[in-house]
Each structure stands twice: as C-alpha cells, then as structure tokens.
Structure 1
Amino acid sequence: MSKLLSLCPWVIIALFPVQSAFSFNRIYVNVNNPTPGTGTSWATAYNDLSAAIAAGNQADTFWVAQGTYLPTATTDRTIAFSPKPSQVIYGGFIGTEVLLSQRNWKTNVTILSGDIGTSGIASDNSYNVVRIINATVDGVTIRDGQGDYGFPALTANQYNTGAGVSLYADASASAVAAIVAAIVANCTFTNNYAIYGAGLGVLGITSGSAQPYLATKVSKCIFIGNTANTAGGAISVTYEGACWGNDYTDNSIFIGNTVTSGQGSVIANILDGTTTAHRPWMDNVVFWANGENLAYNSLANGATGGPYIEFAIVWRNGAKYGASNFSDANITWHDSDIYVDDAGLPANNINSDPQFVDASNYDFHVAPCSPVIDATILTAVGSSTTDYGGNPRVVNTVDMGIYESTKTISTAPTASLQYFCQNMDATPLVATGDNLLWYTAATGGTGSSTAPTPVTTASGYLYYYVTQTTAGACESDRTMVTAYVRAQPAAPVVTDVAYCRYATASALTATGTDLKWYTAETGGTALSTAPVPATTVIGVSYYYVSQTVGCESDRAPLQVLVNGIPAGPAVSDVTYCIGSTAAPLTATGSNLLWYTTSTGGTGSATAPTPSTAVNGTTTYYVTQNPGCESSRSALTVTIGSQATPPIVNDFTYCQNVAAPALTASGTNLLWYTSATGGTGTSVAPAVNTGTLGTTYYWVTQQDAGGCESERSELSVTILAQAQPPVVSDLDYCLNQSVPQLTATGTNLKWYTVATGGTGSSTAPIPVTLSVGSTTYYVSQTTGCESDRAALTVTVTTSTSPVVTPLTLCQYSSATSLTAEGTNLLWYTAATGGTGSSTAPIPSTLVTGSTTYYVSQTDGCESARAPMTVTVKQSPIADFTTSGGCAGTPMTVTLVPAESKTAFYTWNFYNAVSVSGDDPGPYQVLWHDPGAYTVLLMAYDGQCETKVEKVVSVGVAPEIQVTPSAGMYCINDTVTLRASGASTYEWSPATNLSAVTGAGILATFRGDATYTVTGTDAGGCVGTAEVHLNQSPDCKIYYMLPTAFSPNGDGKNDVFRAKTSDLPVVFVMRVYNRVGQLVFESHDVNTGWAGMQKGQQAALGAYVYMISAVTSEGKHIEQSGSVVLTR
C-alpha cells in the first residue's frame, strides 16, 4: 500500500459531519467543580463528562480538567464514554485556561477510567472506556478497561475488543455501508485488558453486501502495560466479511504490552474474507520491552494484507527478540532498528544499539551520534511533518524512532607512513585527531581507543584504519594508516671465552657493525659499552650482541665460563674444661696449612696444640691445596669454666598422694643421694609419699662444655591426710525451691562424682524438676584434702487429683467446681500463680471453653490437673412479622430462616387462624385491631431459649386523591395530591415528576390512569385512582424524535410525525445543512428512511418543516432539527 493511500482516511476524518442547525460550542468539564452548571465556562463546568457529552451537540468541543472521570456512576459495564459525531474531547487542563495552547496533558493528567463498581477490582470494570464513532480524543489517559465479555469464548465482539478505545461497525443486517473513524492523539493507554486490542480495538463486521469503512489515526500516544488474552496487547484490527479501511499510527511509544495466550503483544491484524488488502501502518514508533510475538497477522477466506512497520526502533534490555517475531512474510518491517540476531534480521533493517538517553525512565531521545539518525531511505516528509516532540520531521533523511535529530560528522584524521623493523618491538601507531578509534578493516567491526601495535614477525606493508570524533560531532570516516616493516640483518659473529675465579677479565668482542651489547636474550636496554665479565662467581654466564644495518639484528649469544677454586677443609670445633690436657688440632683435607688469622700471614703445615690455662674462646684457620689453595676454614677452641649450681625448691606432699619426679632449674642435671661422693644419675628420683617425714636429695648441672657444678640440696616433706567433712542426706518435694547444700568442715570442695573430677568451692543447689535421688560429694582441706563424703538428695511428689470435664448452658446458674483429692488448690494457669483453696464458680455469660487447674497436697503438692468447662450456646431464636392489618394475615418468620435448632414451640394465643408448618413462616389472622402476644420456645436437646413479643394489628387507611379525574391538553402540567396515609407510591411512572410523595406533577401526554398506594405508620395499605383525559378544545401538535438511525435493525429506522389527529392537509419537508431539500411527504403516515436520491444520506443534523390543516380546520406550522445516525 502506498503512503498516499494510507493518508486517505484522514481526509474522511477531516470531513466528520458538522451540523448547520447548531453553532459549534465549547463545553467545560471539571470533576472537581462543586457547583456544576451548563458548562459554558470553567465556573459553570460540568463535573460529569458523560453528562456533558450527552448534553452537547455534534461538533462541540470539550475542555476537560485534570482528574479521574468514570463513564457511569452505575455498575453497567456496557456503558462507555461515547462522544457524538464530530465532537472533540481535549484533556490536560488545570481549569483556568482560556487558550487551547495553554493546556499540558503531561502535567495536568486527565484520566478516563473504566474502574466502575468496586474500586481496584478489574472484574467489574467497563468493557470499553471510550467508544468512538467519528470523533476525536486528545490529551487524556485511558485506563482500567476490562474487555472480557463472553470469556472464555473468544469470538470477537464489541465488548471484548478495545478495552481502552473501541471503534466498531456492524453492517451484518444492513445493505448500507457505514463509515466510522477515530482520531486519538497525545493519549496514554495503560492497565487495559481485553481479548483483542487491550489499548485500541478496531472491529468491523458484515455478512451482506454492505462494506463498512473503518479508519483510525493514532499519533503521539503511549501504550504501556496493556494486556490482551488472544491478540493485540496494544492495538488490534479485526475485519470480518467485506470490511475495509485504513489504520495509521505514528510518533507513538509501546512499552511492556503483552499477550497472555496468543500473539501480537503490540499489534494484531485479523482479516476474515476482507475483499480489500488491509495493512495497518506504523511510522516512527518505539517498541520497548514488549512481550514476544510483537506483531501478529491472521488471514482467512481469501483475505490479504498485514501490518507495515517502518522507521521503528524495536528494543529491550536482556535477551534479543527471537527471529520468529519477524518471520511472517505478510508483516513488513522496513527501515527499522531491531534487536534480534542478525540471522533473523529482516532485509532493509539494522540491528544497532539506538543509544537511548534513558530508556529505563522512558526517555527515548537518542544520543547525538545514534545509528538511527538519518538512517532511513525517506528524504521527504511523509504523513507526519513533526516528531513526538513537535519538531520538524525531516533533517537530511527521516530518523528511526519518535524523535528527529541532527547528526554532524567529524572530519577524518590524518596519518603518515610509519616504519618498523622486523622482529623488533613496535610502538603503537599514531594519527592526528581527537578521540581516535582504531579499526582493522575499512568497514565494520568495533573501534578501539587503544592504538594498535604492528606485528613485526614478517617484513612488508600492514594497513590499519582510524577515525576521530570532535567535540559536538559524530565519528568521522576512516583514514587508512600504513605501516612498513623492514627486513632484519644477520646477527654478528662471536667467540666464547673462559676465566678462573677472581681472574682479571677484559671487555668482550664480536665481529659486526654498530654493535649493541645486552645481558638478556630479549628485551632490556643495550649497554653503553662492551661488558667486562665478572669472575667472582663460578659458572657459566651469557652476554648477547647485535649489529644494526638499518634495523637491529637478532642477538648472538656469547658464553663466559668461570672455573672455581677448591673448598676449605672440613673442621670441627673443640671444647675443653679449664686446666684439662689438650691435643693438636685436626682437619680433613690434603696439604693442610694452619693460620692464626682469617686473612694474611703465613700458613704452617704443623697443627697447633691449644692452651687450657685460661677460660675463653680462640679461633684457628686452615686451608688445603690440591693444586690451588682453598679458602680458610675457621675452627673454634673453647676453654670452659666450672658451671654454677642448679636452682632448687623444697617440696611438701600429702601422705599417699602420687607425686611427680623431682625437678630443678639447670642444664644436663645429675642427681645424688649424698652431699659428696657417689655417682650422679641423669634420672630424677621418684618421691615415696607413703612414709611421713623429711628426706634430702642433691643435684648438679653441666654447662655446654661438659663442666659440672657444685651440688645443690633440696628436701621432700610428707604430711598426714585430713578427715572427711560431716554431711546429712536431704528430702525435697518436686519443683520445690531449695538452698545450696551444706556440710561441716574447713575449706570444703564439692564434687559430682566419688572420685576424679575437679572440686568447686561453691556448694551446688539441687535440681527438683524430676522425681528421684541424686548423690553429691564433698571434702575438706586442713593442710591435705580429705576423702569425699557422700550426700544424697531425694525428690518426691504426690499424684494429681481426679477431674471430670463440665458442660453448661449459656446464661445458666453454675456451682463451684469439684475434684477428687486432698487439700485441693485451684489455679487459672497451668504453671505459676498462687493456688486458692476455694473452688471457682464458672461464668456462663460467654460461650466457649475455659480450662481451670487443680492440685492436691499430700506431703508435697502434686502436678496440676486441667479441668475444661464448656459453655454451650443456647439455641438462637427470634422471629419477625410483616403486614398486620385487621382482617389481613400477618406473616411470622423464624430468624434465622435456616436455624439448626431441633424443636420449636409456637403460641399465638387468641389468633383467629394460623396456617404454616414448623418452623415457619406462619400466616396469622386477627379480625380486630389491637396488641397481641406471640411466644416462641426453642430447644436443642440440652439448652432452651424463650422469645416473647407483642405485635400490633392496625386498620387499612382510606386514601383520598385530588383531582380524581379531569380534562387536559397535551403538555399540560397537573398537580396530583393524596392524603390519608403516611407514605405514597404512584404508578405507572410515565410522565410523572416523581413516583413517591403526597404531591407530584403529571405532564399530560394523552389519556392516562394513575394509581396511588398509601401506607400508614402501622404498615397498612390503601389505594385510589386518578383518571386524566384529553380535552377536545386542545391545540394539536406533531410529535417527532430528535434523532433516528436507519440501519435496518427495525428500531427507530424511519423519521415520521406522530399525532392523534388525522389532518386534511399535511406537508413535511427535510433539508440538509446547506439548505438542499432531501425529502418531502404529503402523508402524515409516510416518514423519511434516511435516503437521498437513492443513496444513503450523510450522517449529521437535518432541519424539518411541517405545514398542516387539522381535521377541525386549524392551520399548524411546526419546525425543528433531527440527527441522522447509524
């Protein structure tokens, strides 16, 4: 479909029918106006938009202030905002503006909501929020529509299509084609749900020859968070039969729309038998974070066409869209930026990050250098001359997305030929420019801000590419940068050298040009001169040398070998005690030479003999010479003095207590049993604690040189053991609070076992939580700790008393509780609290169960026994009465009507008659007025309830009404008044000002009879009638409708006059808005069927004129206007 064809419907929409019979009015609406009026100003603004629409004429405009508007105050879900043809609804006003340009729909939000019924409950919301036929909605938020009529059935209908905005035409029963169109601009669709087209739904239906034409124009709108069950989360177009039309959307945003069980999260095109190919057209739109299956196309019974989406941005965070979104050949994606794997990208589209400014906050402006700028093939303005922000659309070529931007391209950077040497470390390439990006190819790939370093393994030319980005401009074209790698020369010729350790070496040499010496095979910096090898370390070392002929060669390795000297001879240090005899020194080696200094001097082949006359340390030195003299080995001779005696302590132990071996502070101890003589042992003697008294021991130590000290003396004393403390066994009751244990003794220690463990000076507190015996142990210490004395603690208890659960009736008298036991104590809790010897008396005021607790005391108090007292509800019984006039049965009804009580007993005392079955209702009759007693007894097998009431029987009132009859003319107002009762109700309600009250007004439209029903204070009822008849002297009028709809449905299809008179002369003429005669009739029974020259007349307002002579010879002239709709 051509772009020109896609614009045709807006010519049609521009020709929405305009009424010549009316002036075009501006009507003000403000939901917050506490004193609504006729809507001619903000001060008199309507506060109900639906009422304003109904009161307005075709082609009126509505200025609607901010706030939330509901289509109805009732719960009728079929009611929607339904503007009349050519009406325009503008939202976004504060309520003070005088110019349309002063409104701001983004700040002053006008909400048209379908949230009728219970607020926040979607299931009772309106099926459609707005229903448009040839009207415009601009600058409002449309939300909370719930188009689920008939679900789970999925057949498209008016109430399950277009929950936000519905455009609907059904020509199934008509041979006349309908033309319906809608313009929606600057609107937000959100939180709408429908089976088809949650935001906007177009539905055309025909099964005959009529071909309805449907057209929509959606511009600068946001569809966010709408959900469809089957198709079209945001928009759906459904044509059934020979429908046709155009649907165009531009400069709009689609965010987070979904389909729960079908396809087309954004748009669906469903055609069944449509004779004309239909392509919903979408230009310059943004799809952001919508569900999978973005667009859906369904063709049946020869239908053709499919959505045409161009200049769009289809994007989201996270995973790319699946290729299946774009595989339908009948759905065209053109000149768009689509977030999909390249394998699934449709032809003539791109897949590049659009560089949104802040998509997460719904700012879909793009960065100055976004790839979507100037990215389409369109170089002239299309159907929309401005973008989403109202700016001119074309700058160079049309951009993708909702905004038009300007892109400035930077000039390309400059670069010269750059030289490198083969196999040498290269430096990064350079170019002249700002914010450079480097590439390895002339096109494609991703640029790097890091300049590349050429690879120099092979000689020859290498090619790179670079761009620059100057301030305020976009990336430039790529400049080619050439690098030339020169060939590498051969390495110089070298000869290895060898040295002895510590020999003097000379500078290294090699054969070559412009030599460079290195200490590493690769890397590093060349030495300033040829190196002189070091000979201080034995081994092999390498030096490297290159020559430079244009480029530097590889490095030639040169080996330097340093041979080592022999190691010094092996020696061992020697220690003597002062005054002992020494031997000549020895070492392991050949050709030994002895020195007295570490360096210098002359060596001697004779080994020296150390002197032991003075304590101290002397160092001697020795070398060996198996060809070359070795280094000198140091040998230390130590002359030690006598060691100091070890430090000892005396020991005291208790008799028969295990004691450790003796100890002393010293090194290499030797133990003796006498002060002098004997042989010492390194094993410390064991102490025998079996015999009381004191024993003496002696000990020496040896220093590191083996010199022994004098002997130190220590004593061991064995003391006698103390007697165990005196204890008494104890008896306690279960859970009794008890003090710490006690015993008679000194320095007591308490234990939980007879032997072993660690004693505590803190006496334990016995635990009485369970029945049984526990033994504790205690000792005393008077010098030595005694044996442990055993103390037994026994815990006993009593049995709980015997109790029996008790059941009482509510409100009955209760007695004190009882239980079987001795010395009972009563409690209100299972634990804690203070028991009472007085048994409690249960309360029967409240139903339910209460648990009491009781113990008995037989030596010890027993555990508490729970006793449950249940208060059973007495049977619920009550009754109501209705009626109660003398001679008329009174209805007596049991409350509740479905009581579960088993037995009822009624007593109506002196009633004339009683009819009905237990438990009721009963019909009870009294002949005379007065007060009568009714008694109800209810019994459920345990408990009984008595209800007694006095009922009043009254007399039926006698109703008087004025006038009771009369003669009137058409449109006369008659005041009807009734008396004799307290309240009144009139019927039928036709032409009455009210249906209740003692005085009402009746508008006479013809012969009528009214009945008034009066009810007195006692509820008794009486009636009276009023008869109104037409006077023969009244003026005759012709009654005509203000609108008719010739659509063939059998309802209001013909515009004709209605009168009770048969005129002798009658002429009715109908004119269109330009004054042309479209219909004329001379028969009062012949009306206009909406045709003009054999064709359907245009929708809109028409003027009629009637000239007639009545049957009584009176001349009548009458005129007015009528609106033609379909």
Structure 2
Amino acid sequence: MLMLLRLLLLLLLLLSTSARAQTIHYVDTDANGASDGTSWADAFPDLQAALTATASGDELWVAEGTYTPTPGTDREATFQLVSGVALYGGFEGTEMSRDQRDWGLHETILSGDIGAPGTATDNSYHVVTGSGTDATAILDGFTVTGAYADGLFPRNRGGGMRNVNGSPTIRHIIFRENHARRSPDNRDAFGAGMYNESGSSPLLEDVRFERNVAGTPGNGAAGGLANRFSSSPTLRGVVFLENEAGALAGGMANESNSSPLMVDVQFIRNTSEGWTGGLDNYDDANPTLVNVVFFGNACANYGGGMTNDTNGNATLINVLFVGNVARNEAAAGAGGLQNNGSSSTLVGVTFIGNDAPDGAADGLGHRGSGSVTLRSSIHWDNGDELVDETSGGLDVTHALVSGGFASGTAIIDADPLFVRAPSPGPDALWGTSDDDYGDLRLQNGSPALDAGDAAHLLPDVGDLDEDGNTAEPTPFDLAGGPRVTATTLDLGAYEGGIAVSNEGSAEARSAPDLGVLSPNPARGPVTIPFTLPTPARVSLTVLDARGRTIARLLDERRPAGSHTLRWSTADLAAGSYLVVLHAGGTRRVRTLILT
C-alpha cells in the first residue's frame, strides 16, 4: 500500500511538472485585465514583468506594440533571455495557436527608447541580452531597435543584443537602427546590431540587420554583427542592409578564432569609413560562406565587399561580388575582396563590376603570407581583375579572367555571356537604390559552361539539401539548381545556361527557370523574368517568411521562350519574401527583399 501511494505521488509530481513545462504567458501592452498573463484578456502589459514570472519550458506570447526594458530611465535595464524560455512576437492578441501569428503584419517592437522620447543619448545600452544562455532560449518574431550603447566598457558593445558565453536561438528578428559608440574610457564600439563574445554561438535564422551604426568616422567596428573570442554563430537566411561602421566592417566582423557558418546570406549597401564595407575576418577567424552575395558595399580604404586579414582563412562556395567599391584613400587594396596574410579557398565565385580607383586590384587582391585558391571562378569587368602582390599567392585553376592570368591553369579570356550584365543605374554610382545587380546566369554558348571540374566541389557543409550529409559534394548552385551535370562544372556561382535568340526569346537549357529579380532589394515595382524550354502552365506565387502564400501573380499557360512580369509589391511591409515559379514539373525560388 505504501509503495502504491509513493507511485501515485510520483505520478502526480510528473504530471504537475509536465503541465508547468507547457505554461504560456500572454503579454499585451494594451491589456487592462488582471495582468497575470493567464489569457489575452488578462495579459501582462509589461514584458519585463512577464519574464520574471517564467520558468524553464514556458513560452511568452507577445502581442503587437512597443515594449521597453524599463518604464523609467535606467539605461542598464535589458530584456535578459533565459534558457528554457521562448519569447514569440507577432501576435494580434486573439490567437489560440502560435501558428496563427504574423510578425510582419503585427510588428512587435523591443525598443531601447527610454527616457525622453526620440532622444537617443538616454536610450538603453543593450535592448536584449542573451549571456549565459543555450539554444533553448528563444527570441522569435520581434523588431529590436533604439539602442544607444555609448557607456563605459562593455556598455558600448552590442546595442541591439549582447551575448557573452551565450548561444540563444534567434529567428524572424529585425535589428534596426541600433547604435554603438566609443566609450568614455576610450574603448572602441563593436556590433551595434549584435555583439557575440567568449564562446557565444547563437543560431540566426531569417534575421535582418538594417541601418545599424557602430562608431563615428575613425572608430567603431561591425555596424551589423560582431563575433569575437571564439564565437561562431550559424547564420541562415540573414540580410545585412545599409549598416555602417566608423572604422571597420559596415556589415559584419569576425575576430579571434570566430568562424561562423553562413548560408543564404546577403550583404547589401553596407559602408565603412575605414576598411571593409561588407564582411571582415581577422586573427584566425575562418568562416564558411555558402550561397552568399555582396552587392554594392563600400569603404574608404580596402575591401569594399570583404577582407580576410591575419589568418582570416575563409572558405567561399557559390558567392557573388557585384558593384562593391573601395575608395582607397590609403591607396591600397581591392574593391571586391582583399586577402592579407591569409589562406582562403573560393569555389564557384563570380566577381563583376567591383572597383578600387586607387588600389592595386579592383576585383580580388592578395598580399603578404598565405594564398588564395580559386577554382571554377569568373572575374569580369572589374578593371584589374586579380592582383598578386606576393609571388605565388594566387593559385588559379579553371577560371574565366578578363585579360587572362598568366600563372593560372585552364584560364579563359572571353566574354562570359551573362544573361544580363549588372549596372549601377542612371546615377552611375554603385551602392545606391537604383543599382541593377544583373542576371549572372550564363547564356547557352558561354565559354564558362562546362569549363570547370567537378572535383573542385567542396563538401556540403551548409547541408543545402537538408539530408544530414555534410560530407557529400555541394549539391546546389546559388539559385538552388543542381550544381553538377555529368562530370563537369560551370564556372561562377550558377550552373546551367540560358539560350538567348536575336529576338530576345530564351529557353532554359534543361528546365524552366526563374531569373534574377530586379531591382532587389526593392522599394517599389519589381521585374520577374522567367524562361520556358517548351510551352507550359506557369504558376508564380509569393510567400512570406513563414511560407504562407500572400500573392498569386500568374496561373496560365505560356509559350516557350522568355517572359517578364512586372509586380508592384504594393501594400507589402519591408521584409524577406520568396517568389516561387512552378512550371513543367519544376520549382524555382528567388528571395526578394523589400525595404
């Protein structure tokens, strides 16, 4: 009998624990009920109060509105994430299921604008903090904005979010217009959007860093994201748009054994008043980039798109560098990618339209120890395409290079025949809103088709096909199509070709295809090109970041050839969307960024 009672007590305890682990706390700044978080009607009006009521396994459902870390003026106040606790934003305040929320429609803002409204200098140092957490600490569906990190060290690092030995899960988040400044004790600012250090390796999925600013001219690094001291996050579907730094890395900086994995990441129009407009890797930072683009980034000195420095040994797979500019006020370095004292490997990359007016190289440059290994790449219309300031520092095989490259092997010097070449637009300036990044797929008849070697393919470290096998060769190109046909490889970031006739009709070499959206990012109408090898019924739809269909643009039979559709994008909020083509049993997808 005693044993039975013990078993019953244990069962009751387990049931109680299980029920406790599933507690949902409701938060709504407009709620006026009991304020105990038990329902939408009785939701906590204050997010900070709701956080203090949580235990491991709990969820916070947060309705649209603006929430600050404190109702007062304490700049130290922050939203501290907790392991085992998940914060979900994007609710209207009536939902019964988490799947019903829409973070694009119901913006849920975590704001550092405390003190005097609209005055930045009294704002929170860090809006969100994830220090000491693991992956079970979740932040999902919020906009983080209004930080002003200008205090004594370390209060000048990580305005939007600061992680020290913390690795939370970050999904569907926008870090917008956060600031970091040099501290009163003369310490440089880092990571206005997010700062990771001391083994912080969060997961970032569907995250945007927009118009964050680190430092002032001459100081400050990583306007968007800084990773330091063995911090190696995983980034999937992340966009860096128009972030700024006073000295180094407008978009992102990796330093001191920080080696993130970056898949489907975009660096667009980020700027630095010193070095490196887009991405900087320094001091044993060895990132891996898969399906990444650098569009229109700029800096005052070298590395408009990207810099590897002092054993910043990066690996790049299926990467574009288009229209990046280094003004070279120090008269050194490259517009696209500068490699200094580092050993980097690039497979399936395309450089076009990059510029360094007073530098040694417009496209890619190398100096110092180390080397750059280039395989199956295209270097076209960059001016000085490849410059090796150290004899033997560039190992180039199976590449198309304007003007050739004497020390390379299997080098082609001929027009690659892109479907549409990029253009800086009517203002003739890269890094502005009228840029056209082109359609850098290859036409049929391009000398770059089948000119590579499939043996050059690197392992699928990004698991692009989601089969769990990261040892197999990279299966897809930048557009998501098969990377290998037979035993050959096309040069550049795209596989397969488009045949363009004198009349402008086009057909995919092997299947229907969806062209490069233009412009992208966009603030208005977008042109959507697609090609059909044979007549087919065509479906064009637009999905939001949750995969929901929000627009049906086309559903009809079309003849073989080249087609374009002009879409207004009216009434859509800024964010990331997918344009999906279904035709002839083929599915093609393009990401569209609306700003």
Which TM-score tier does this pair reach, normalised by the shorter chain?
Answer: 0.5 to 0.7
Are 1:220 and 2:224 counterparts?
no
Residue pairs, 1:853-1002, within 5 angstroms: none
CA deviation string 1:214-250 (max 9, x = no partner): 21111111111001121111110122xxxx4431212
Give the superposition deviation at 1:297: 3.5
- 1:416 maps to which residue? none
The structure with more radius of gyration? 1
Shift of 1:34: 2.4
| Corresponding residue for residue 29 of structure 1 | 27
Q: Which residue in the other structure is 2:156 paired with?
A: 160
Give the equivalent residue in structure 2 for 1:110: 108
**1:74 aligned residue (72, 75, 88):** 72
Q: Cα gap change, 1:367/1:66 in structure 2, threshold over 3 Å: closer, same or farther? A: farther
- Matching of residue 295 in structure 1 with residue 313 in structure 2: no
Structure 1 residue 199 corresponds to structure 2 residue 199:
no
Mark the CA change 1:218 to 1:337 in structure 2 (over 3 Å): closer, same or farther: farther
The equivalent residue for 1:270 is 255
Superposed, 1:723-762 pairs within 5 Å as none
**Structure 1 residues 63 and 344 mapped into 2: Cα distance closer, same or farther (>3 Å)?**
same
Q: Is the Cα contact below 8 Å between 2:464 and 2:476 reproduced in 1?
A: no
Q: Which residue of 2 aligns with 1:813?
A: none
**Corresponding position of 1:248:** 234
Work out the number of aligned pairs and report it.
Answer: 362
- Once the two structures are superposed, what CA deviation does each residue of 1:802-858 show, in whole Å capped at 9, x if it has no partner? xxxxxxxxxxxxxxxxxxxxxxxxxxxxxxxxxxxxxxxxxxxxxxxxxxxxxxxxx
Cα distance change, pair 370–201 in 1 and its aligned pair in 2 (3 A): farther
In structure 1, the residue matched to 2:121 is 123
Please, what TM-score do these two structures have when normalized by structure 1? Answer: 0.29
Paired residue secondary structure (1:282)? strand
Does the alignment pair 1:236 with 2:226? Answer: yes
Report the AA paired with residue 138 of structure 1: D
Contact 1:434 1:469 in 2 (8 A): no
Counterparts of 1:126 and 1:40 in 2: how far apart (Å)? 29
- 1:984-1006 per-residue CA deviation (whole Å, 9 max, x = no partner) reads xxxxxxxxxxxxxxxxxxxxxxx
Distance 2:98 2:434 in 1: 26
Structure 2 residue identity aligned to 1:235: L
Contact 1:80-1:130 within 8 A present in 2 as well: yes
* In 2: Cα distance, 1:238 partner to 1:251 partner: 21
Provide the residue aligned with 1:321 in structure 2.
Answer: 325
Secondary structure in structure 1 of the residue aligned to 2:203: strand
Kept in 1: contact 2:140–2:173 (CA 8 A): yes
2:86 and 2:138 in contact (8 A); partners too: yes
User: 2:150 pairs with 136, 148, 161, which one?
Assistant: 148
- Residues 603-682 of structure 1: matches in 2 within 5 Å? none
Give 5+ residue unaligned stretches, structure 1.
1-18, 151-155, 170-179, 205-212, 272-276, 387-393, 414-431, 438-467, 476-1126
How far, CA to CA, are the matches of 2:498 and 2:253 in structure 1? 46
Output the amino acid matched with 1:327: Q
1:398 maps to amino acid: F
Find the aligned partners of 2:561 and 2:151 in 1 and give their Cα distance: 55
Deviations 1:234-278 (A, max 9, x none): 110122xxxx44312121111111101x2011111232xxxxx43
> Structure 1 counterpart of 2:127, which letter?
V
1:310 to 264, 273, 290: 290
Summarize deviations over 1:916-951 as a string: whole Å, max 9, x none. xxxxxxxxxxxxxxxxxxxxxxxxxxxxxxxxxxxx
Is residue 145–residue 178 contact of structure 2 (8 Å, CA) maintained in 1?
yes
User: Given the alignment of the two structures, is residue 279 of structure 1 paired with residue 259 of structure 2, yes or no?
Assistant: yes
Q: Which runs of 5+ in 2 are unaligned?
A: 1-16, 181-188, 299-322, 327-333, 356-360, 366-373, 380-417, 426-430, 467-471, 483-493, 507-531, 535-558, 564-595
Deviation at 1:78, TM superposition (A): 0.8
Aligned to 1:186: 172
The 1-side partners of 2:46 and 2:82 are apart by: 16
Q: Secondary structure at the match of 2:70?
A: coil
SS of match in other structure, 1:140? strand
Distance 1:40 1:366 in 2: 52
> Contact 2:290 / 2:462 at 8 angstroms: preserved in 1?
no
Residues 297, 86 of structure 1: alpha-carbon distance in 2 compared, 3 angstrom cutoff: same
Quick check: which one's strand share is greater?
Answer: 2
* In structure 1, C-alpha distance between the alignment counterparts of 2:49 and 2:196, rounded to whole Å: 25
Classify 1:331/1:124 alpha carbon distance in 2 versus 1 (closer, same or farther; 3 Å). Answer: farther
Residue 69 of structure 2 aligns to a residue whose secondary structure is coil
Shift, 1:35, TM fit: 2.4
Alpha-carbon distance, 1:398 to partner: 2.9
Residues 193/307 of structure 1: CA separation in 2 closer, same or farther (3 Å cut): farther
Instruction: Specify the alignment match of 2:554 in structure 1.
Output: none
Q: What is the RMSD computed on CA atoms of the aligned residues?
A: 4.3
What secondary structure, in the 3-state scheme, does the structure 1 residue paired with 2:129 have? strand
Residue 114 (structure 1) shift: 0.6
CA contact (8 A) 2:32 2:42 kept: no
Task: Report how far residue 164 of structure 1 moved.
Answer: 0.7
CA deviations over 1:634-663 (Å, ceiling 9, x no partner): xxxxxxxxxxxxxxxxxxxxxxxxxxxxxx
Pick closer, same or farther for the CA change 1:199–1:412 going to 2, 3 Å. Answer: closer
CA contact (8 A) 1:112 1:143 kept: yes
| Percent identity of paired positions between Structure 1 and Structure 2 | 27
- Compared with structure 1, are the counterparts of its residues 238 and 219 closer, same or farther at alpha carbon in structure 2 (3 Å cutoff)? same
Instruction: Check whether the contact 1:143–1:192 (CA below 8 A) recurs between aligned residues.
Output: yes
Q: Alpha-carbon deviation of 1:287?
A: 0.9
- Residue 91 of structure 1 deviates from its aligned partner by 1.1
Amino acid at match of 1:92: G
Give SS of 1:72's match: coil
1:89 to 81, 87, 90: 87
Contact in 2 for aligned 1:183/1:217 (Cα 8 Å): yes
User: 1:29 Cα shift?
Assistant: 0.9
Write the letter of the residue equivalent to 1:38: D
Contact 2:127 2:145 in 1 (8 A): yes
Amino acid at match of 1:237: N
Secondary structure (helix, strand or coil) at the match of 1:53 reads helix
Q: How far did residue 201 of structure 1 move? A: 0.3
Q: Which secondary structure does the structure 1 equivalent of 2:48 belong to?
A: helix
Question: 1:379 deviation in Å?
Answer: 8.6
* Distance (whole Å) between structure 2 residues aligned to residue 66 and residue 108 of structure 1: 5
Aligned to 2:504: 435
Shift of 1:196: 0.6
Q: State the distance in 1 between where 2:436 and 2:103 align.
A: 19
For residue 395 of structure 2, what is the aligned residue in structure 1? none
Q: Which residue of 2 aligns with 1:804?
A: none
Letter in 2 for 1:345: L
1:398 is aligned, of 476, 493, 496, to 476
Is contact 2:222–2:249 with CA below 8 Å preserved after alignment? yes
C-alpha deviation, 1:203, in angstroms? 2.1
Mapped to 1, the partners of 2:258 and 2:157 lie a distance apart of 18
In 2, are the aligned partners of 1:199 and 1:226 still within 8 Å (CA)? yes
User: Contact 1:36 / 1:47 at 8 angstroms: preserved in 2?
Assistant: no
Residue 187 of structure 1: CA displacement? 0.8
Partner of 1:382: 462
Paired with 1:41 and 1:366, the residues of 2 have a C-alpha distance of: 51
Counterpart Cα distance in 2 of 1:107 and 1:256: 23
Task: Tell me the amino acid that sits aligned with residue 137 of structure 1.
Answer: L
Q: How does 1:674-823 map to 2 (within 5 A)?
A: none
Provide the C-alpha distance between the structure 1 equivalents of 2:237 and 2:52, rounded to a whole number of angstroms.
Answer: 32
1:340 equivalent in alignment to 2:344: no
Matches of 1:117 and 1:140, distance apart in 2:
22
The answer to whether the 8 A contact 1:409-1:473 is kept is: no
C-alpha separation in 1, matches of 2:437 and 2:59: 33
> Measured at CA, do residues 20 and 336 of structure 1 come closer, stay the same or move farther in structure 2, by a change above 3 Å?
farther
- TM-score between the two structures when normalised by the length of structure 2: 0.53
